[in-house]
Amino acid sequence: MTEEKQSATITIINPQGLHMRPAYLFAEMASRFSSRIEVVKDDMRIDGKSVLSILTLGATQGSQVAVEATGPDAEAAVAELVQLVTSGFPDESGKTEAEASHF
């Protein structure tokens, strides 16, 4: 039996890139899935469930990253993580960081 594999390439839209808060939100969501989650940027491949690993990517606004998942819930994992990134990592009120920084 082979494991399901899914991947998607996305552009970081956050004005500050993948800094601590978005990295935490990404890792927190990735940890909800049993699949192995990896994020690839340039020649770096890191564990998508590790906040510190995500921070080492240095993914600034406009960076392209690939989200790859391998396991039983890979399709759902990639779909939800892509949605999180492309929505701008909204907070509990639904505002993105870009919206929250405009008083």
Q: Does the active-site annotation cover 102?
A: no
In the predicted model, what is the mean pLDDT of residues 3-7? 95
Domains of the chain: 5-88 (3.30.1340.10)
pTM of the shown model: 0.88
For 25-61, how does the pLDDT look when each residue is reduced to its tens digit (9 = 90+)?
999 999 999 999 999 999 999 999 999 999 999 999 9
DSSP assignment of 64-100: EEEEEEESTTHHHHHHHHHHHHHTT---TTS--HHHH
**CA-to-CA distance for 73 and 24, rounded, in angstroms?**
21
Query: Out of 4, 13, 17, 19, which one is annotated catalytic?
Result: 19
